[in-house]
Amino acid sequence: MDFSFSEEQEELRKIVRSFLARHSTEAEVRRISGGGEGYDPAVWRRIAGELSLQGLAVPEEYGGSGFGYAELGIAFEEMGRALLCAPYFASVALAAEALLRSGDDRAAKDLLPGICAGDTVATLALTEEGGHWTEAGVRLAASHVGGGWALSGIKTFVPDGHLADLLLVVARAADGISLFAVDAAAPGLTRTRLPTLDQTREQARLEFVNTPARLVGRAGAAWPGIERTLATAGILLAAEQVGGAAATLAAAVEYAKVRAQYGRPIGSFQGVKHLCADLLTELESARSAAYGGLWALESGDEREIRIAAALAQVYCSEVCTRVAGGSIQVHGAIGFTWEHPAHLYFKRAKSSEVLLGSPAHHRELLAAGLGL
């Protein structure tokens, strides 16, 4: 297998980076993360209309472009680099992937085109009060009501859950874990925006009281598809983390070249040089882990995907937080201030470290995947 990106894929990277350089500037990130909707709907529509990124890896029969996970990983890496404030991870890595893995062709044909077109913001609601991304952690109840289904319970820490038009909710029915589609305007649904460390990626608490829902896939058969969705999302999140770490390390190196102390650039000091070199070594190892995950997704080998996803999250989550923290050290006192972007990247890195479960959780998944 060729583990390098093609010319076409590198051209995609250039296009996405150029677009984000214009539309996800530091000023825009600060403006959007400071309140309001949490994203710019106009930019969201342009991402769909001009770049078709929401449906990049969705098959054409469902309204997508039919590309692969390598291309999707490039998009996530560049969005991490630009610190994009948008419900892209929730809609693409979680919701769209959950629909593709549900085995429900009718639901995919009904719901995916809207996500791909940028008309529908979607998310996956899995975690509850305990914050566990596991089958055992699902307690929200699904019950038959008349000829349909109703949900009752609480989901929390739901990425972009307060602004999503479509909620894909993991619930426990009599037959077992099941997946349901819920319209944001459904009766009995209350959505509360949560305060978050990372203001560039928002979360919400959802309360369901006999809320009508549409069953996606077969009742009791949803967990294998959810498990694969989480693995895919973990790899894509790793790519995003690598993009953010690369941006913050580049800023630190550039600062070390121009910031003078004792009549010489601080980058000439051994302590700073060694720190930057160590961070670069860790970053490149994290990049390899994330890219290895993308190639595993391309191969379609389920065991390799599970192992690669756990490995990517174990390593990339911790390394990217260290890189962001190291960048603050290089910047010194200014890196701690609100006026400098280093803290924005650090908060994104720290939040992403536990977004799909802690590194300890992924170490357990890695051990299980390796049969240890």
In a domain, 365, yes or no: yes
C-alpha dihedral over 78, 52, 356, 31, to 10 degrees?
60
| Whole-number pLDDT of residue 147 | 87
- CA dihedral sign of residues 80, 82, 87, 88: negative
In a domain, 108, yes or no: yes
> What CATH number should be reported for the domain holding residue 203?
2.40.110.10
Instruction: Give yes or no for a contact between 321 and 349, defined as CB atoms under 8 angstroms apart.
Output: yes
Could you tell me if 216 and 228 lie in one domain? no
What's the CA gap between 197 and 178, in Å, rounded? 31
Instruction: Give yes or no for a contact between 47 and 53, defined as CB atoms under 8 angstroms apart.
Output: yes
Spell out where the chain has E strands. Answer: 122-125, 141-145, 148-159, 166-173, 176-183, 189-194, 203-216, 260-261, 264-265
| Whole-number pLDDT of residue 3 | 67
In a domain, 342, yes or no: yes
Bridge partners, 151 (sequence order) = 142, 211
| Whole-number pLDDT of residue 128 | 96
Q: Rounded to whole angstroms, what are the CA distances from 307 to 72, 75, 282, 368?
A: 19, 22, 20, 9
**Which residues have C-beta within 8 Å of that of residue 188, sequence separation ≥ 6?**
150, 208, 209, 210, 211, 212
Could you tell me if 188 and 270 lie in one domain? no
| Whole-number pLDDT of residue 363 | 95
Residue ending a domain, among 169, 195, 220, is 220
Residue ending a domain, among 67, 88, 116, is 116
Could you tell me if 46 and 104 lie in one domain? yes
> What CATH number should be reported for the domain holding residue 78?
1.10.540.10
Instruction: Give yes or no for a contact between 49 and 118, defined as CB atoms under 8 angstroms apart.
Output: yes
Q: Identify the domain containing residue 29 by its residue range.
A: 7-116
In a domain, 97, yes or no: yes
In a domain, 175, yes or no: yes
What's the CA gap between 281 and 276, in Å, rounded? 9
In a domain, 139, yes or no: yes
Residue 161 token pair: 């859950």
Residue ending a domain, among 116, 137, 156, is 116
> What CATH number should be reported for the domain holding residue 329?
1.20.140.10
Could you give the 3-state DSSP secondary structure of residue 115? helix
In a domain, 1, yes or no: no
Could you tell me if 264 and 361 lie in one domain? yes
Could you tell me if 204 and 250 lie in one domain? no
Could you tell me if 234 and 215 lie in one domain? no
- The radius of gyration of the chain from alpha carbons, rounded to an integer in Å, stands at 21
Could you tell me if 81 and 44 lie in one domain? yes
| Whole-number pLDDT of residue 2 | 62
Length of the chain: 372
Could you tell me if 39 and 70 lie in one domain? yes
**Which residues have C-beta within 8 Å of that of residue 147, sequence separation ≥ 6?**
none
Could you tell me if 111 and 148 lie in one domain? no
Each residue's pLDDT, cut to its tens digit, for the chain (372 residues) gives 566 899 999 999 999 999 999 999 999 999 998 777 789 999 999 999 999 999 999 999 999 999 999 999 999 999 999 999 999 999 999 999 999 999 999 999 999 999 999 999 999 999 999 888 999 999 999 999 888 999 999 999 999 999 999 999 999 999 999 999 999 999 999 999 999 999 999 999 999 999 999 999 999 999 999 999 999 999 999 999 999 999 999 999 999 998 988 889 888 899 999 999 999 999 999 999 999 999 999 999 999 999 999 999 999 999 999 999 999 999 998 888 888 999 999 999 999 999 999 999 999 999 999 988
Could you tell me if 256 and 296 lie in one domain? yes
Could you tell me if 167 and 279 lie in one domain? no
What's the CA gap between 119 and 141, in Å, rounded? 29
Could you tell me if 71 and 158 lie in one domain? no
How many domains does one find in the chain? 3
Instruction: Give yes or no for a contact between 317 and 164, defined as CB atoms under 8 angstroms apart.
Output: no
* 27: number of Cβ within 10 Å: 8
Return the DSSP state at 357.
B
Q: Global pTM?
A: 0.96
In a domain, 2, yes or no: no
